[in-house]
Amino acid sequence: MSRRVVLWAPSLAPSQNPPPAPLLNRLAGRSEPCSLIGGADDALASAFAAFGLACPVAADCPAAAVSAWADGLAPQAGQFWLRMDPVHLLPSRAQLLLMDLGHYPLDAGQAQRLIDDLNRHFAALGWRCFAPHPERWYVLLPAAPALRTTPLAAAVGRSVDAVLPRGADARDWHGLLNEVQMLLHGHPVNEAREEAGLPAVNSVWFWGGGSLPATPAPLWRSVWTADPLLQALARFSGAEAWDCPADLAVWASGLADGAHLLVCAETLADGDLLRFEAEYLTPLAGALKQGTIEQLSIVGGSAADDATAPALTLGRRDLGRWWRRARPFLATPRLGVSTTWSALARGG
């Protein structure tokens, strides 16, 4: 057995003109060129792939069912679940911008009052609505609709019209969304929030529909991420799930044998790469050099038109290849061997 760390930064997408990243490029030069296959150009599909789960063709990734399972709702095989997260629609010129509640979340009591009214209103349709967490709402439907949706993370900040549900049943669901908005308009919970200077919950966002998939073979011993959905996927796949550690050097020294996935889920603009190197790569490369961990892999994200992602794997001996030149990790086109999430977890 060995202690293997895979650092995944989905926002590190390949580019024709990659920004400066001296340490990342030096590590890339001392490893063999590699590309991750089996991912996707869609962030949600990539997240599922990282845990050995494939998303259906021409359908949503079933994020709602997996996160409902993690939130204790016990979805059953064949049931169709949708996320219906509380959001705020912000008027801006001739459009409505979709905003999450950000720094102004609901409390559990407010969320339950809204959910209770949604349940009463839509009882005739057979809806069963749940709010196990104030920011994560669900609806269990009596039948699967013909819908494709946009994940909330991909819709925030955009015009609602550009990201509305699509598919054969889309028009009906646009009408149902209007009903939800009318129910929430003037609701006592929203009146109290507005009096307190907080944004109203004036809509919900439907996304991630589907049924609970089969449990995959476990890839990771532990997963470290601040993202609730990735934590849900980790637990569903049989891994331990934890928030990101504050001190990576100390964290690495306490790891058990096996494969550990560490996710840097934040958006890394050009100016953030040096901070990423200092906060993530420097302590992890140090742990590899000291023998605290035996292998370090780094995985980026996919470009919009490419389902592969840049990747590298280093052992302790590889760090000693001082004569090898740095290689731009994020440059395109990428050459070299292909790897998979399963191979990275196994240390291959």
Report the domain count for the chain.
2
Let me know whether 88 and 170 are in one domain: yes
Let me know whether 146 and 14 are in one domain: no
Let me know whether 165 and 296 are in one domain: no
Mean predicted confidence (pLDDT) in 304-331: 87
Let me know whether 70 and 48 are in one domain: no
Let me know whether 206 and 291 are in one domain: no
Average per-residue pLDDT in the chain?
92
pTM of structure:
0.94
- Least Cα distance to 325 among 8, 3, 2, 22 occurs for 22
**CATH code at position 31:** 3.40.720.10
pLDDT band with cut points at 50, 70 and 90 for residue 39: low
Q: d(Cα 191, Cα 336) in Å, to the nearest integer?
A: 59
- Choosing from 162, 188, 210, the residue where a domain stops is 210
Let me know whether 67 and 101 are in one domain: yes
- Choosing from 175, 193, 210, the residue where a domain stops is 210
Let me know whether 297 and 193 are in one domain: no
**pLDDT 10s digits, 43-58:** 899 999 999 999 988 8
- Choosing from 175, 210, 245, the residue where a domain stops is 210
Residue 280 lies in a domain: yes
Strands (E), 103-221: 128-133, 136-141, 203-210
Let me know whether 232 and 198 are in one domain: no
Q: d(Cα 21, Cα 276) in Å, to the nearest integer?
A: 9
> What domain range includes position 67?
63-210
Q: Provide the pLDDT for residue 94.
A: 85
What does residue 11 show for φ and ψ, rounded to 5 degrees? -85, -5
Residue 234 lies in a domain: yes
Let me know whether 232 and 197 are in one domain: no
Q: Is the pLDDT of residue 41 over 60?
A: no
Q: d(Cα 291, Cα 94) in Å, to the nearest integer?
A: 58
Residue 58 lies in a domain: no
**pLDDT 10s digits, 200-254:** 999 999 999 999 999 999 999 999 999 999 999 999 999 999 999 999 999 999 9
Let me know whether 170 and 255 are in one domain: no
| Residue owning tokens 């679940």 | 81
Question: What is the SS3 assignment for 3?
Answer: strand
Let me know whether 244 and 180 are in one domain: no
Let me know whether 19 and 116 are in one domain: no
